[in-house]
Every structure is written in C-alpha cells, then in structure tokens.
Amino acid sequence: MKLSKTKVKNFALLHLCIWIYTGSSICSKLASQYPFLSSEYVFFTLLIFMILGIYAIFWQQIIKRFEASVAYSNKSVTTIWTLLYSVLFLGEGLTIYNVIGTAVLIAGVTMVASDE
C-alpha cells in the first residue's frame, strides 16, 4: 500500500501535534518536584498552559484532515512519547510491561492507520 505525500505529511503533522502535547506531561512532572507556588512551580505550570494552548490550536487544524477515529486512535501514541521522555529526561525505569504495552499501542495504531 502506497501512501500519498499528502497523507504522509498529514500523519507527520498529527504526530508532531501529539509530540507537543506530551511536553505538558513532562512539565507536570517537573512542576511536582518543587514546592507549591515556588517560582519553579509557577514557571512549569505556566509552561503547561502555554503548551496546551499551542496544542489546542494545532489539534483543531489537524483533525480537519482525518476521520475522528484515526485522529483519536493515533493520540494513544502520547503514552509512547511520555514513556520515552520519562526514561531519557527524568531517569525513570523501563519495565517489560512498558515495552509490551507500547508494542500493543503501536500495533493498534498501525492497524487503524492502515485502514485509512
């Protein structure tokens, strides 16, 4: 099955949007490491709102290009990005259950995307 350049571009934009969204999870984790209302806590909280605002605008433009089932099933990839960030930037561990769950997510997203 050959995808057109437009579809490839649209899927790339969709996943860029999802990647942006996962930044809010990392900022949430970072904010939680500081005392409530400290300057660092406020900074990361404001950064969360900024990221979510950018994501909301971007998401509205992206979902125009897909069926809702395809767009929302691809959103599950958020879990994969967050897992990767947690391991790389926050020093959290990776378990076999994380790997199995990620494989199931990838299989599901691939099945839905290939139907598109």
pLDDT of amino acid 32: 92
Q: Cα(12)–Cα(100) distance, rounded to whole angstroms?
A: 24
* 79-112 pLDDT tens trace: 888 888 888 877 888 889 988 988 887 888 777 7
* 37-54 pLDDT tens trace: 999 999 999 999 999 999
Helix 5-31 to helix 78-89 angle (10° resolution) is: 50
Q: Cα(80)–Cα(19) distance, rounded to whole angstroms?
A: 10
Would you say residue 15 has pLDDT above 70?
yes
What phi and psi values does residue 95 have, to the nearest 5 degrees? Answer: -110, 170
Q: Which residue has the higher pLDDT, 66 or 55?
A: 55
Q: Cα(68)–Cα(60) distance, rounded to whole angstroms?
A: 11
pTM: 0.71
